[in-house]
Amino acid sequence: MPLIQEHTDALPYIDTPLSASERQLLTEQIRASLPPEASSTLHASIPDLPETDFSPALQAEFARLSANEKYEPNQRVDLSRYEELEPPAPTEPTTDETHPELLAQWDDTLKKSYTSSAYLQARQTNLSLLESFGKNAWLVSNSQQEAILRDLEVELARVKNEVQAVEQERRTRQEGVRGEMEGLEQAWRRGVGRVVETEVAAEGLRREVLERRRHGAA
């Protein structure tokens, strides 16, 4: 089902369609009446976006996309901490006290080993759970998504029927007064024409009066 539905024509049905030049003129007048910041500033009635709290990794990715930087294959999660660790060089018990840096290396390696062991145990647990319950969870999730989709389709059909009913009512009402509107427009045109004719006749009489006064004065 397409996400973009067919646009509903809400323009009047009995008015004369605008020409391309008239539409362009009206568009330019509308743009001229808008404030300069209209194209870059949201309307006051539009609420502000909620504040977001992205992780540092997402913020770094957004910064990379904003800067149009290319993606480097090595910019990925470092898995070396979960791999098998190499122990430090073997030492003798009597040399540990004289070489504390070796103790620090063994301590760091031991901590990384604990981290790797905990990760692998959690990974093994998750894989076993996925093998046991993953299929059923996936089927249940699909069923829920299908139910949501059906509800949305029903709601969409209801709203579409309401839109079509409103559109049909608008069309019926406008078609019902077509004759009256056309008669009023013709009467308005005749009235304007008569006003223009009256003004032309009055201007002719005024010129004739002035001409006679000029001849009488002469």
Q: Lowest-confidence range among 60-69, 89-98, 116-125, 208-217?
A: 89-98
With H, G, I as helix, E, B as strand and everything else as coil, classify residue 17.
Answer: coil
pTM: 0.45
Terminal alpha carbon distance of the chain = 90
Report the distance separating Cα 197 and Cα 185, nearest Å.
Answer: 18
Band (4; pLDDT cuts 50, 70, 90)? very low
User: What's the per-residue H, E or C state across 29-52?
Assistant: HHHHHCCHHHHCCCCCCCCCCCCC
pLDDT tens-place string over residues 86-125: 777 766 655 555 677 777 888 888 888 888 888 889 989 9
pLDDT tens-place string over residues 137-176: 999 999 999 999 999 999 999 999 998 998 889 889 888 8
